[in-house]
Amino acid sequence: MPNSPTLAQLNSPAAQGKGHSRTILQIVPDLQTGGAERTTVDMAEAIIAKGWRALVVSQGGRMVPELEALGAQHITLPAKSKKPWVILQNAKRLREICKRESVDLIHARSRAPAWSARITANKLGLPFVTTYHGIYKQTNALKAWYNSVMTRADCVIANSLYTESLILQRDHSATGKTQVVYRGTDVDAFARQNVSKERAARLRERWGLDENARVILTIARITGWKGHKCIIEAAKELFAKGAPKELTFVFAGDAQGRDAYLEELEALIKAEGLSENIKLVGHCADVPAALCLAELSVVASIEPEAFGRAAVEAQAAGVPVIVSDIGAVPETVLVPPQVTEGARTGWHFPVGDSSNLAACISTALAMMPKERQALAERAYQHVRSSFTKSQMCAQTLAIYEKLLNQTT
């Protein structure tokens, strides 16, 4: 977002003196794991740093203790439910919460909670913000109506140019209300020098990795559209062509109840004779340490990504990254012809093309140390220039400020 204030400027004494303390309520389905959840926590931290109050309403999850440790208040509601009567009950509870806590603005980060939030904001005359964190499928009129709540806001935040274009393509009424705010990453947290050897060693032991393992890492939920089967096929081809036995593919991510799909992946890995070469390690709470173990990162999504956080985090950690050429990926990983070969920060491969993926992996693994270091430095500078947490928070706070000033 051009000419937006920095987080430091928004939190300066001069800026703080322009108005009184505000209370911002964010609502998200749950706080288990994912981009929307991480952004919610990051924004709560920024809201508190500004001297405002941060409330988060969700169904709960493993990130609640982290949120509360920042000084934010968590309120539990069944915000993940899509049942109409639950959404209406949540709206009633939200109105009570907003009145009791003197909420000044509501920010919804998913569709079901957005319906409750919109009803509440309309009843109380509060500014209402939504963020598109995902690509919501829209296969029929009913689905389109359900999705439309995300554009029935005073400001609609899109987490990429790709997402913004999709919003405007689907709903022309959003024209003039959308604003791109890229998902921000704490770049310094992923720098290798800031991750202790002990952290990486603990994770290596937990995952049962040999000291000589050359790790190709995929951090993604265990769900069909994340492309795990494509990676398995690429691994099969690589080993058939004589790839070193030290090569180890690690799938780090939660199944989140998709046990049937997890079992399907396990059966496929076994059937292809890759049980020694592919590890399913479950949820990873220490992503920076995981990337320290990785020689390469792969994002193989077979459906469009709204942003591509895993690719950004890999680049921040100096890990070469290969991504499927779909969705917002071209905005996060630079490749020719959009840039020169000398400005490349990773590789794209055609979505679902396991042979092309295998070729990209071979190319990346064959890089000379100086070549790898140069690519890693370019990638680091790319994410630092466009995808930092401080940029995201400053831009979002500026949106809050603008809407709040319009209502005073």
DSSP-derived secondary structure for 94-121:
HHHHHHHHT--EEEE-SHHHHHHHHHHH
First to last CA, the chain: 25
CATH architecture of 7-184+388-407: 3-Layer(aba) Sandwich (3.40)
Quote the distance between the C-alpha of residue 141 and its chain's center. Answer: 28
CA atoms within 13 A on the CB side of 75: 16
Per DSSP, helices labelled H in 58-103 are 64-69, 84-101
Phi, psi of 143 (to 5 degrees): -65, -40
pLDDT on residue 2: 41
Phi, psi of 305 (to 5 degrees): -90, 135
Residue 394: strand, helix, or coil = helix
Q: Which helix (H) or strand (E) holds 322?
A: strand 321-324
pLDDT on residue 4: 47
Q: Which two tokens stand for residue 212?
A: 């000589």
Per DSSP, helices labelled H in 228-308 are 228-240, 259-271, 287-292
Radius of gyration, alpha carbons of the chain = 22
Identity at 339, one-letter amino acid code: V
CATH architecture of 187-386: 3-Layer(aba) Sandwich (3.40)
Burial pattern 104-138, b for ≥16 Cβ within 10 A else e, equals bbbbbbbbbbbbbbbbbbeeeebbbbbbbbbbbeb
Separation between Cα atoms, residue 164 and residue 175, nearest integer Å? 10
Separation between Cα atoms, residue 293 and residue 299, nearest integer Å? 16
Q: What is the pLDDT of residues 275-328, one digit of tens each?
A: 999 999 999 989 999 999 999 999 999 999 888 889 999 999 999 999 999 999
Separation between Cα atoms, residue 47 and residue 397, nearest integer Å? 8
Which residue positions in the chain have pLDDT lower than 70?
A: 1-20, 408
Query: Which residues of the chain form CATH 3.40.50.2000?
Result: 7-184+388-407, 187-386
pLDDT on residue 322: 97
Q: Is there a contact between 159 and 307 (Cβ–Cβ < 8 Å)? A: yes
Separation between Cα atoms, residue 70 and residue 54, nearest integer Å? 10
Identity at 44, one-letter amino acid code: A
Nearest to 47 by CA among 18, 79, 16: 16
pLDDT on residue 89: 98
Q: Which residues does residue 280 pair with via DSSP β-bridges, in sequence order?
A: 251
Place of tokens 């985090």: 313
Nearest to 113 by CA among 137, 126, 131: 131
Q: Which residues does residue 408 pair with via DSSP β-bridges, in sequence order?
A: none
DSSP 299: E
